[in-house]
Amino acid sequence: MGLRKRSGSKSGTADGGGAALASVAATGATKGRKPLTASSAKRMIGVGRTVLPLLAPYALVAAGAVRARWDSYQADRLGVATDQLSSFRGPGGVLHARLSRIAEALEQLDPVAEAHSTGAARKFALDTRPRIAELSIAVRAAEQMPGQRRRAAYRAIGRELDRIESALLTHLGVTT
């Protein structure tokens, strides 16, 4: 006793009404919408030609404001001034920014800049400056490497910078 399909369906089609439903759905999707004709396309182009020159200056101002906010966000994330942001672009930009900030902090340990800096701090600054220069060269060299090697090099440089920053904070009297 098998199941048989009834021949008398309400839609009158052999597929069970699927084609009729598709046809109803297609007409319902365009209901309330006029078809695009040549005259309506010309009218839309005319409106666009009139409105676009009026809105373009506002769009440019808005785009400039968005760009300024994005640059400010990026500069804050890197810890640099917005006008210095272009110096720290590219894949090694974050490491270059860190190196720059460490170099500036080492200037604080200089005997001319700070009268109260200790001898150990001065020696640390003198010993660390060449290492910072070497790391900067390493970052520039790593920028030319393939992706996987570059990421490995950046991780190694980052670990070295973490060690230097920790020692720098110790010499500045900040406990970590």
How many other C-beta atoms can be found within 10 angstroms of the C-beta atom of residue 93?
18
Domain that holds residue 78: 38-82
Residues 6+ apart with CB under 8 A from 132: 99, 102, 103, 106, 164
Length of the chain: 176
In a domain, 30, yes or no: no
User: DSSP character for 35?
Assistant: P
Residue 73 or residue 29, greater confidence: 73
- State both tokens at 49: 């030609």
Measured from the Cβ of residue 52, the count of other Cβ atoms closer than 10 Å reads: 10
The answer to whether residue 117 sits within a structural domain is: yes
**CA distance from start to end of the chain:** 82
Residues of 2-35 as b/e, b for ≥16 C-beta within 10 angstroms? Answer: eeeeeeeeeeeeeeeeeeeeeeeeeeeeeeeeee
Q: Are residues 103 and 58 in the same domain?
A: no
Co-location of 67 and 106 in the same domain: no
pLDDT, tens digit (0-9, with 9 covering 90-100), for 59-76 = 999 999 999 999 999 999
**pLDDT tens sequence across 108-144:** 776 555 555 567 778 888 889 999 999 999 999 999 9
Residue 116 shares a structural domain with residue 146: yes
Q: Radius of gyration over alpha carbons of the chain, in Å? A: 34
Asked if residue 132 belongs to a domain, the reply is yes
Confidence of residue 56 (pLDDT cuts 50, 70, 90): very high
In angstroms, rounded to a whole number, what is the distance separating the alpha carbons of residues 19 and 9?
13
Q: What pLDDT is recorded for position 24?
A: 47
Q: How many domains does the chain have?
A: 2
Geometric angle at alpha carbon 91, from 85 and 96, rounded to 5°? 55
Q: What is the pLDDT of residues 148-159, one digit of tens each?
A: 999 999 999 999
Residue ranges of alpha helices (H) inside the chain are 18-29, 38-78, 93-108, 119-142, 147-171
Q: What's the angle, vertex CA 64, arms to CA 58 and CA 66, rounded to 5? A: 105
Do 52 and 110 lie in one domain? The reply is no
